[in-house]
Amino acid sequence: MPRSLIKSFFDKSFGENGNAMASSTVDDGVMLLNYNDAVIYMRDLRLVVENDWLNDSIIHFYLELLKQESTEGHDYFMDPSVVSFFMQHCNDHEDIEDFVASAPLPKDNGRIFIAVNDKMSAAVESGAIWMQHTSRGCATAQGTHWSLLLMTIGTSASADEIAVAAYHFDSHGECNLKVAVEIATKIAKYMYKRNAKVLSCETPQQVNGYDCGIHVLMAARALASFDDIDFRQQKLVYEQALHKTIVVQHGSNPGPAMRQAISDTITSMASKQLS
């Protein structure tokens, strides 16, 4: 597929007024790029340019970008599909042992970035029905909201042993806190044999019903730039970092600029792979 077709799609999508609209220029099933096994199709790209809710593919792709850009060898960005598999399908002792043995997570020092989706709860796989309030109203457990969970693994100040801390950043109140606690608890228990208290952090709030994923990616990028922070200061420093990076630099609605940046990155990379 030539670059001109991709450019044509974006010209039509954004237009002079920046209003996204559907385009039939390129079929939804066309694969645009494969970046370290993070595969993006045209249907995924449409979600970015048409102000829609981001899916697992876009989230995974961007976290993979952050992983490659990271200069720290102990930052880990988990694929959302891997998190879902661990939460919903690793239940018996053998499955959990296999996952722990193969998971590329820090053993004694590092940070884990996890994009939390409300569909990741084990209750979803078990068939439990529950309702959750979101900016789009009440929805069933099919996945309606993204938030960010950051787990830090290090040596505690009081003893030479592993300490696990967890911080939750949610652009819609504490919508995903229950699921974030569930994920952090399971990872801490089986990966590190520790308990993990999840702290809710002050987070810039989304102004619409579809930019939760955008906020997650902006928060992940901002927090990835901070390292070697004292456990006692992390929460405050992280909160200040988000405020400075998102609110001060981009205002109350950072979505359009971030969507443009993501789409520019995808189209540039796709053009190089397809040329």
1 pLDDT above the threshold of 60: no
84 pLDDT above the threshold of 50: yes
d(CA 82, CA 196): 20
| Predicted local confidence at residue 93, as pLDDT | 87
Length of the chain in residues, anyone?
Answer: 275
Q: Which of 119-128, 139-148, 185-194, 216-225 has the lowest mean pLDDT?
A: 119-128
Q: Which long-range contacts (CB under 8 A, 24 or more apart) does 7-15 make?
A: 7/267, 9/42, 9/45, 9/49, 10/49, 10/263, 10/267, 13/46, 13/49, 13/50, 14/49, 14/260
Confidence of residue 33 (pLDDT cuts 50, 70, 90): very high
Reference 147, options 110, 177, 122, 119; nearest CA is 177
| Predicted local confidence at residue 225, as pLDDT | 83
Confidence of residue 9 (pLDDT cuts 50, 70, 90): low
> Residues of the chain with pLDDT > 70: what percent?
77
233 pLDDT above the threshold of 80: no
Q: Which of the listed ranges 7-16, 201-210, 224-233 does the model predict with the highest average pLDDT? A: 201-210
Output the six-digit token pair for 208. 């619409």
CB 134 within 8 A of CB 209: yes
| Predicted local confidence at residue 126, as pLDDT | 46
Bridge partners of residue 24, in order along the sequence: none
| Predicted local confidence at residue 144, as pLDDT | 87
Helix/strand/coil percent split, the chain, to 5: 45, 15, 35
CATH number of the domain at 3-274, out of 3.40.395.10, 2.60.40.10, 3.30.420.40, 3.40.50.620?
Answer: 3.40.395.10
Question: What mean pLDDT is predicted for residues 212-241?
Answer: 84
108 against 218, higher pLDDT: 218
Question: What mean pLDDT is predicted for residues 19-43?
Answer: 79
Tens digit of each residue's pLDDT (9 = 90 or more) over 133-183: 333 333 334 578 999 999 998 866 666 678 899 999 999 999 999 999 999
| Predicted local confidence at residue 104, as pLDDT | 82
pTM for the model: 0.84
Can you point out the beta strands (E) in 156-266?
Answer: 162-169, 198-201
d(CA 212, CA 228): 27
Q: What single-letter DSSP state applies at residue 17?
A: T
27 pLDDT above the threshold of 80: yes
Confidence of residue 11 (pLDDT cuts 50, 70, 90): low
Reference 173, options 134, 139, 138; nearest CA is 134
Question: What mean pLDDT is predicted for residues 219-244?
Answer: 81
Confidence of residue 12 (pLDDT cuts 50, 70, 90): low
Q: 153 in helix, strand or coil?
A: strand
Question: What mean pLDDT is predicted for residues 83-105?
Answer: 90
CA atoms within 13 A on the CB side of 76: 19
15 pLDDT above the threshold of 60: no
